[in-house]
Amino acid sequence: MSGGTPSPVADLLAAPARVITVGAPTLDEALVAQGVPTVPVEWRPPPAGSAAAVAGVMADPRTAPANRTAVDRMAAVRPRLVDVRPAADLVGIARHQVLHAGPPLDWATASGPMRGAIVGACLYEGWADTPDAAERLAASGAIELSPCHDHACVGPMAGIVSPSMPMWVLDADGRTSRSTLNEGLGKVLRYGAFGDAVTERLRWMERVLGPILASGLRRHGPIDVGALIASMVAMGDEGHNRNRAGTSLLVRALAPDLVRTVGEGEADNAPGDVADVLSFIDANDHFLLNVVMGAAKLVADAGSGVAGSSVVVAMARNGTEFGIRVAGTGDRWFTAPAAVPDGLYLGGFGPDDANADIGDSAITETVGLGGFAMAGAPAIVQLVGGDAGDALGWTELMYELTLAEHPTWTLPVLGFRGVPFGIDAVRIVRTGVAPIINTGIAGRVAGTGQVGAGLVRPPLECFTAALAALAESAETAELAGAGGR
Amino acid sequence: MTEVVRVERGRYHDSVTLMRASAAAQDIPGVETVIAAMGTDLNRALLVQAGFPDPEATADDLVVAVSADGPATAEEAVAAIERHLAGRGAGAVGGGHQPPAPRTVESAAARAPDAGVVVVSVPGPHAYVEAAAALRAGRHVMVFSDGVDVGAEVALKREATTAGRLVMGPDCGTAILDGVGLGFANVVVPGAVALVAASGTGAQQLCCLLDGAGIGVRHVIGVGGRDLTSAVGGVSTLAALAALDDDPAVEVIGLVSKPPDPEVAEAVMAAAEGCRTPVVAALVGPGRPTLTDAAAEIARALGAAAPDPQWWRPPAGPGPARPGPVLGLFSGGTNAAEALVVLEERLGPVVSNVHHDPARRIGPFDSAGGAHAVLDLGDDALTAGRPHPMIDPAAVADRVRSGGAGAAAGPGVLLLDVVLGHGAHPDPASVLAPALADATATGAAAVAVLVGTHGDPQGLDRQAHALVGAGAIVHRSNAHAAAEAAALATGAGAEPIGTRSGRP
């Protein structure tokens, strides 16, 4: 053009050094035949009926900037562990109220382990004297059920929170999250077990564990959980099914202050109780899990409420349904029936004994830990018969679903690449690849407890439904039909 | 029933490894229960619950417990556990680990920062998403897919303009970027000509005619068949013209399209006049010069000798002239449109599934009812869910058989295009020649336009000879092929066109 500025597309007029191809293999082959290197995309159509929603969300000019905002906010969160206090003080729940994992549910639709845990909570709180009486009470509708997620809480497996339970308190930038204290493995409330042993342990946690941790933590001052997670990921934990290194790091940080609460101040803890607390933690490799979950909740919540964003900010299961939330649709749950995990079984248990997927612990995957960080925790991959190469491959596959990498939670084996971070519901639907979630497996029958551990994938329907809702509210150019605009 | 419980003091394996080992042994027929675990209180309780005696073991000891239908089976299970525990490490990551293939354009773009162009050929309803992803990753995009809504095209091109990128397509069949062909592209010698093409096969015909005249083509920028409609407004055409005008290696620009909508034509012609580089418009339509004429004009603009398109004839001549209707079977839309114009100039009304006049439009499967007919077999309606006839000419061969078997009501003259180059069928003549031979053997005449170059992988001469061997007259000029078909149809016999015959 006469005297105009240079064309911005002038670089098109050079032989391409490399070409990305998506679609017909013939066209890729034609380039290879000319000696041009290609990067073929392994494309497949999105689930039937979802193409219009995908296009609608992609065409919403708000989506990309909103996703950047949501991911940036999440990446900036530095969660701190600050306190341990009873649920009644923290959450304002009262007599006959319990919180549970996952999306909303009622007694009628609750699974065996969820019912078992509710029964156990009724026995623990003294609302009922026998399991039968507890069941009758719950079935009568007298026990009010509410999702943990709606109260800035998270709980693994059944995720039951009743008023007397001590809870971890975490904060970041003036926001708070809480999570239960981990009971250990085997016959424990969160896996749906109930009875005297369960109640006794919960009472000890309430009387001894909670107050001692609280006094030690207050003495120590806030613990930087973001930094702790960075360390544990570098030490072979993925923060969901493996918390061994992280639990040890917590003990290392707290032990001196726990010891110093003996004969000091208001707490004046008994030396035997402090020793019991340290032994209890030592016997439970998963003790830190609930802290990681509380931190993950703070991280995920930071992304919530960004209009137009398709970033996933919650994945949670109640033992019956899998539910997700995305940043652009507020507190709305998108649910579908939960799958049974694929994994290995304890003792004489097998797949027939397994309940459907359960727990808020998928909040760890929501922020790039757990199944997303498997490359750094190859021990976990054996649960489904994989090898160390699969561990790398699964984390690498999860990068296909995320918009960013976490700035400080890095994987040494991938050259210190950040864990896959900022799950995009659009990517999940476009690729048909569901997130990989590491999980424990609860027994199907109330009272059984844990029967195994393995991997599970959320149903794609959750994500297609979320996209349909985003597309409905999209501020989008009209893509279909003649004429355009 | 046999029960075996073994305790190995001080042997540690992590719980996951032990669960794997247990699972391996559990698969052996006749094995009832297998537990391999460290002797923690919890695991001892599980053993008791599963019916084993409580072992004298601590958390530092390995316990292996098996119940099976006999001692041999139990020992086999214990051995299987041992094999599994001994075999740890076999799956460690080796140097051969390959990351999974990218599943999205975004992922591919992140891995290939040097890939400046993305070629999208997913089914039409999905093309917007991948093309938008390409633009947002800062890449130019060629949308080969057809069946893309015009609203999506407008949205993509608006976004491309803002981003300073170019969208080629949708329904962009061909592009050549500094000698590299994308989509369907003939192998041409790079030269001083560049084309902006709203028509893929039109651009291929022009490239091949120029190639036949020894004139090289440096770039072909496809813009999609709707770019010059008022809905789209010529966005990509204008951007391509500006870019090509800036390229000092380009001496003549050709613009290949159907006649644009009037308001767009004005803007494009104004832009063309503003170019320092001469622009030759090759607009295929009634009353306009053919692409063969356009090739001559480009040659003149370069000061080169006029093209004299090559042709081949069967040694026995074209066969007995049998007046009768022409049936044109085209894989290329512009070849069909140009043939329609040439035939109507000589024969009067021709019916077609792509006729601009609705009164002369027929469905792709309708009988022509004895009239001259031209069918575009590459039309969107015929290719949904099926390979394009340029990729697989079987659909054309089927039409030759059903319409050209010399039946009383059948056509007198078959006219078809055969397109070579990258992306096209590796040997289209091998698919078409048998059907043509049957047709010519029963008295029909056959004329083919061979759109290809001597550099094409299919071999121009080899393809021509196979078609001629089936009794067809073969031209490199589509206009010449159509004119010869018209002459045969009127019974005037073969009309000498051009001078450069090939040597069958």
Q: Is the pLDDT of residue A349 over 70?
A: yes
ipTM (interface pTM): 0.92
Mean pLDDT, to the nearest integer, of B362-383?
Answer: 85
- pLDDT, tens digit, for every residue of A440-463? 999 999 888 889 989 999 999 999
* Mean pLDDT confidence for A48-58: 94
Q: Which of B90, B104, B232 sits opposite A41 (nearest CB)?
A: B104
The pLDDT assigned to A384 comes to 67
Which one of A2, A12, A185, A198 makes the best mutation probe of the B interface by having the most chain B beta carbons within 10 Å?
Answer: A12
- The residues facing B207 across adjacent strands are none
Asked whether the predicted pLDDT for residue A63 surpasses 70, the reply is: yes
B230 pLDDT band, cuts 50/70/90, is very high
Residue recorded with tokens 């943990």: A148
Closest CA to B167 of B78, B119, B230, B236: B236
Whether residues A27 and B182 touch (CB distance < 8 A) is answered with yes
d(CA B13, CA A293): 27
Whether residue B318 has pLDDT greater than 60: no
C-alpha B196/C-alpha B236 separation (Å) is 9
Summarised one tens digit per residue, pLDDT across range A166-223 is 999 999 999 999 999 999 987 899 999 999 999 999 999 999 999 999 999 999 999 9
A1, A33, A400 ranked by CB distance to B107: nearest: A400
Confidence of residue A154 (pLDDT cuts 50, 70, 90): very high
Q: Quick one: pLDDT at residue A1? A: 43
Interface with chain A: mutation pick from B20, B47, B54, B93, highest number of A CBs within 10 Å:
B93
What distance in Å separates the CA atoms of residue B184 and residue B287, rounded to the nearest whole number?
A: 29
Q: Best mutation site among B3, B14, B35, B46 for testing chain A: the one with the most A CBs within 10 Å?
A: B46
B288 burial (CB, 10 Å; 0-12 / 13-18 / 19+) is middle
Any A CB within 8 A of B88 CB: no
Q: What are the tens digits of pLDDT across the range A260-299?
A: 999 887 778 999 999 999 999 999 999 999 999 999 999 9
Residue B224 tokens read as 């999609």
**Who among A26, A39, A346 is closest to B115 (CB)?**
A39
Instruction: Say yes or no to pLDDT of A396 above 90.
Output: yes
Q: Which of residues 323-362 of B touch A (CB under 8 A)?
A: none
CA B121 to chain A, closest CA, distance in angstroms equals 4
- Residue B411 is predicted with a pLDDT of 65
pLDDT of residue B408: 45
Q: Does residue B275 register a pLDDT over 80?
A: yes
The rounded distance, in Å, linking the Cα atoms of A183 and A285 is 11
Distance CA B42, CA A285 (A): 13
Q: Quick one: pLDDT band at residue A19, thresholds 50, 70, 90?
A: very high
Tell me, yes or no, if B27 comes closer than 8 A to chain A by beta carbon: no
Confidence check: pLDDT of B407 > 50: no
**How many percent of chain A have pLDDT more than 90?**
85
CB-CB under 8 Å, B180 with A16: yes
The pLDDT score that the predictor gives to residue B405 is 41
Count how many pairs of residues, chain A against chain B, have C-beta atoms within 8 Å.
281
The percent of residues above 90 in pLDDT, for chain B, comes to: 63
- What's the per-residue H, E or C state across B412-479? CEEEEEEECCECCCCCHHHHHHHHHHHHHHCCCEEEEEEECCCCCCCCHHHHHHHHHHCCEEEECCHH
The band of A485, judged by pLDDT with boundaries at 50, 70 and 90, is: very low
Nearest to A99 by CA among A117, A124, A75: A117
Residue B360 DSSP class: G
User: Bigger pLDDT: B365 or B124?
Assistant: B124
Using the predicted structure, report yes or no on whether residue B22 has a pLDDT greater than 90.
Answer: no
Is the CB of residue B446 less than 8 Å from the CB of residue B472?
yes
Q: What is the mean pLDDT of residues B197-223?
A: 95
Q: By the 8 A CB rule, do B180 and A34 touch?
A: yes
Residue B96 pLDDT grade (very low, low, confident, very high; cuts 50, 70, 90): low
Lowest-confidence pick of A156-165, B253-262, B474-483: B253-262
pLDDT given for residue B494 in this prediction: 57
pLDDT at A5 over 90: no
The strand pair at A19-22 and A38-40 is best described as parallel
| Higher-scoring residue by pLDDT: B423, B222 | B222
Q: How far is B107 from chain A (nearest CA, A)?
A: 6
Q: Is pLDDT above 70 for B302? A: yes
The B residues from 178 to 217 touching A (CB cutoff 8 Å) are 178-183, 185
Query: What is the secondary structure of A3-39 as a DSSP string?
Result: T-PPPTTGGGGS--S-EEEES-HHHHHHHHHTT--EE
What is the spatial distance between Cα A360 and Cα A178, in angstroms, rounded to a whole number?
12
Taking a C-beta distance cutoff of 8 angstroms, is the pair B450, B474 a contact?
A: yes
CB A158 within 8 A of CB A359: yes
pLDDT, chain B, mean: 89
What is the C-alpha separation between A332 and A318, in angstroms, rounded?
15
Token pair of B207, please? Answer: 């490239």
CB B171 within 8 A of CB B143: yes
In angstroms, the CA B291 to CA B283 distance is 8
Q: Tokens in use for B448? A: 């083919």
pLDDT of residue A483 exceeding 60, the answer is: no
- Report CA torsion sign: B120, B122, B128, B134: negative
Residue A151 in contact with residue A86, Cβ under 8 Å? no
Minimal CA separation from B122 to chain A, in Å = 4
Residue the block writes with tokens 């999250």: A177
Q: Which of B159-163, B408-412, B424-428 has the lowest mean pLDDT?
A: B408-412
Place of tokens 């034609």: A30
Say what the pLDDT of residue A379 is.
Answer: 79
Asked which of A219-233, B45-59, B131-145, B469-483 is least confident by mean pLDDT, the reply is B45-59
Give the one of B50, B126, B231 whose C-beta lies nearest to A348's C-beta.
Answer: B50
Res B148: pLDDT? 94
Contact at CB, B183 and A431, closer than 8 angstroms:
no
Average pLDDT over residues B121-131: 95
What's residue B503's pLDDT?
43
Largest CA distance in chain B: 108
Sequence-separated (6 or more) residues with CB below 8 Å from residue A236: A242, A244, A245, A376, A377, A378, A379
Q: What is the mean predicted confidence (pLDDT) over B211-220?
A: 96
Q: Is the pLDDT of residue A14 over 60?
A: yes
Q: What is the mean pLDDT of residues A84-111?
A: 93
B197: β partners: B222, B256
Q: What is the pLDDT of residue A44?
A: 92
Q: What is the pLDDT of residue B87?
A: 63
| Closest residue of chain A to B48, computed from CA coordinates | A347
For B107, name the nearest residue in chain A, comparing CA atoms only: A400
pLDDT over threshold 70, residue B91: no
Q: Which token pair is A278?
A: 């340290």
Q: Which residue has the higher pLDDT, B320 or A169?
A: A169
Measured CA to CA in angstroms, residue A93 lies from A89, A297, B411 at distances of 8, 19, 86
Q: Is the pLDDT of residue A479 over 80?
A: no
Rounded Cα distance, B74 and B471, in Å? 78
Q: Does B494 touch chain A (CB under 8 A)?
A: no
Q: Does residue B273 belong to the interface with chain A, where contact is any CB pair within 8 Å?
A: no
B155-188 pLDDT tens trace: 999 999 999 999 998 988 899 999 999 999 999 9
- Across the interface, of A18, A24, A393, the residue whose CB is closest to B121 is A24
Q: What does the pLDDT read at residue B92?
A: 44
Give the pair of three-digit tokens for residue A443: 């027994």
Pairwise CB contact (< 8 Å): A344 & B243: no
**8 Å CB contact of B42 and A186:** yes
Per-chain mean pLDDT for chain A: 93
Q: Answer yes or no: do A23 and B121 touch at CB < 8 A.
A: yes
Is residue B18 predicted with pLDDT exceeding 50?
yes
Per-residue confidence (pLDDT) for residue A220, from 0 to 100: 96
